[in-house]
């Protein structure tokens, strides 16, 4: 919370400033008029929602929207008040014959508050962009090795541990739904859930192909190898248990999903391999196939399979939404093609580079332990904001 300026400072701020005066926009980029217009529209929406709730409309959807709009407007009003302080401080500093002590105090306060105003402005502008589907959902992540043989499996497991470390660092609850190891002791597939509201919106930037460049432990000549692993981030749409199964099944029309049961393959003991506990779902309209066999109980495998199916369909819905906004240029990558490479982990150079925004972190262990991963995510988020704002501007032309 910033201090309000003393009354005498506000009076002094009205004096004539010099020709070379520093302006607020020299320190803080102004918010685009389109976003300001959205803030003003939200003010009208807030008044309408408040009247609706005062009239007894306390349904969940109205309440959630009311709280969302209220949060945005609180940030908006705080930003306006802070900008008034910045302008008044600059007017004092820009005086032709300022009081030295007063000017030094103004400079000190300006230095303290500008970084905070920049953070408030950035947060506000992101909130003023049109919301995308499922931003408030927990996350589900799927990890698989790509090219590179056994090294790809080892790298996929390193990424899994990185996300586990990241969730622990953020104190987000994480659960490993399934984990299958390959014959080379590397990861074959893993599915995890992070049960924190909004985790999907943060981690969705991790979708795509991750590339590693390092010398494998089995390399005798010291040559650097390149391998890849694929990460897919989905919004978690249900709990994936027997209690949520009925609700999950009700989301689909009769005949929309084919359900096959079979005996589970692979490791798991006599019980797993001699009962029809494995479940395969085929979504007829899209061709999406989901198979689960980790649990000994067929209902539990069925519940997990429906959970994954709903999440994959939700991701398709979101990608369609983004593609329409970007005129069929997708915003999030979910295939394993080389062209979809989003990030490189270069061990010899102790460097992690995100290719979408061009930002590098020269602390690879810090990224893999989850501590420095936020820096990359924030830079990609800033890059995405610029792209989405430009799209909004283009749509208004």
Q: What is the pLDDT of residues 305-320, one digit of tens each?
A: 888 888 888 888 877 7
Over residues 383-395, the pLDDT tens digits come to 988 888 887 777 7
Which among 335, 366, 363 has a CA at the least distance from the CA of 350?
363
- Lowest mean pLDDT across 10-14, 132-136, 208-212: 10-14
CA distance 380 to 332: 12
DSSP state of 260: E
pLDDT for 397 equals 61
Query: Listing from the earlier edge strand, what are the strands of the sheet with 289-292?
Result: 257-262, 278-283, 289-292
Q: Residues of CATH 3.30.70.1660 domain(s) within the chain?
A: 139-238+338-396
State the residue for tokens 């010899």.
348
Which among 34, 64, 47, 205 has a CA at the least distance from the CA of 125?
34
Share of the chain above pLDDT 70, in %: 85
pLDDT for 97 equals 72
Which among 333, 158, 153 has a CA at the least distance from the CA of 227?
153
Q: pLDDT band at residue 20, thresholds of 50, 70 and 90?
A: low
Q: Do the beta carbons of residue 289 and residue 282 sit within 8 Å?
A: yes
Over residues 90-132, the pLDDT tens digits come to 888 888 776 788 888 888 888 888 888 988 888 898 888 887 7
Please state the φ and ψ torsions of residue 97, each to the nearest 5 degrees: -130, 70
Which among 83, 82, 103 has a CA at the least distance from the CA of 93?
103
Indicate the pairing of strand 174-181 with strand 139-145: unpaired
Over residues 224-241, the pLDDT tens digits come to 999 999 999 988 887 776
**Per-residue pLDDT for 171 more than 60?**
yes
Give the class (CATH, top level) of 250-328. alpha beta
Q: Do the beta carbons of residue 231 and residue 252 sit within 8 Å?
A: no
CA distance 5 to 13: 10
**DSSP run (H or E) holding 278:** strand 278-283
Which among 66, 178, 146 has a CA at the least distance from the CA of 342?
146
Q: Residues of CATH 3.30.160.20 domain(s) within the chain?
A: 250-328
Which CATH code for domain 139-238+338-396?
A: 3.30.70.1660
Please state the φ and ψ torsions of residue 250, each to the nearest 5 degrees: -70, -15
Please state the φ and ψ torsions of residue 57, each to the nearest 5 degrees: -85, 90
Q: Is 195 exposed, middle or buried (0-12, 13-18, 19+ CB in 10 A)?
A: middle
**Other beta carbons less than 10 A from residue 40's beta carbon:** 11
Over residues 37-88, the pLDDT tens digits come to 889 999 999 998 888 888 776 677 788 788 888 988 999 999 999 999 888 8
CA distance 280 to 164: 28
Q: CA 171, 175, 179 angle in degrees (round to 5)?
A: 135
CA distance 384 to 397: 20
Q: What is the DSSP string of 32-82?
A: PHHHHHHHHHHHHHHHHHHHHHHTT---HHHHHHHHHHHHHHHHHHHHHHH
């Amino acid at each position: 919370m910033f201090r309000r300026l003393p009354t005498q400072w506000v009076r002094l701020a009205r004096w004539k400033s010099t020709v070379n005066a520093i302006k607020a926009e020299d320190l803080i980029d102004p918010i685009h008029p389109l976003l300001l217009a959205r803030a003003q529209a939200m003010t009208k929406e807030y008044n309408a929602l408040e009247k609706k709730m005062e009239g007894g409309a306390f349904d969940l959807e109205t309440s959630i929207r009311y709280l969302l709009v209220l949060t945005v407007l609180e940030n908006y009003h705080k930003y306006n008040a802070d900008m008034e302080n910045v302008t008044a401080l600059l007017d004092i500093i820009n005086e032709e014959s300022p009081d030295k002590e007063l000017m030094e105090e103004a400079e000190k306060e300006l230095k303290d508050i500008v970084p905070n105003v920049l953070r408030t402005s950035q947060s506000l502008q992101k909130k003023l962009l049109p919301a995308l589907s499922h931003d408030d959902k927990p996350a589900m992540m799927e990890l698989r090795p790509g090219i590179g043989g056994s090294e790809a499996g080892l790298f996929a497991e390193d990424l899994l541990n990185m996300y586990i470390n990241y969730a622990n660092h953020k104190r987000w609850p994480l659960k490993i739904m399934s984990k299958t190891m390959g014959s080379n002791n590397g990861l074959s597939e893993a599915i995890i859930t992070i049960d924190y509201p909004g985790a999907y919106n943060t981690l969705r930037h991790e979708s795509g192909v991750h590339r590693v460049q390092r010398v494998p432990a089995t390399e005798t000549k010291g040559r650097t190898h390149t391998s890849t692993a694929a990460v897919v981030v989905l919004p978690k749409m249900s709990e994936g248990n027997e209690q949520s199964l009925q609700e999950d099944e009700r989301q689909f029309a009769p005949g929309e999903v084919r359900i096959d049961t079979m005996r589970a393959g692979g490791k798991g003991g006599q019980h797993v391999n001699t009962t029809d506990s494995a479940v395969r779902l085929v979504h007829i309209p899209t061709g999406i196939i989901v198979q689960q066999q980790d649990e000994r109980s067929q209902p539990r495998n069925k519940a997990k399979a429906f959970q994954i199916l709903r999440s994959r369909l939700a991701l398709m819905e979101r990608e369609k939404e983004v593609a329409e906004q970007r005129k069929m240029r997708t915003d999030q990558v979910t295939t394993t093609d080389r062209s979809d490479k989003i990030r490189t982990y270069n061990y010899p150079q102790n460097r992690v580079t995100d290719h979408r925004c061009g930002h590098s972190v020269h602390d690879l262990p810090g990224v893999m332990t989850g501590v420095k991963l936020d820096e990359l995510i924030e830079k990609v988020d800033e890059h995405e904001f610029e792209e989405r704002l430009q799209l909004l501007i283009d749509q208004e032309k």
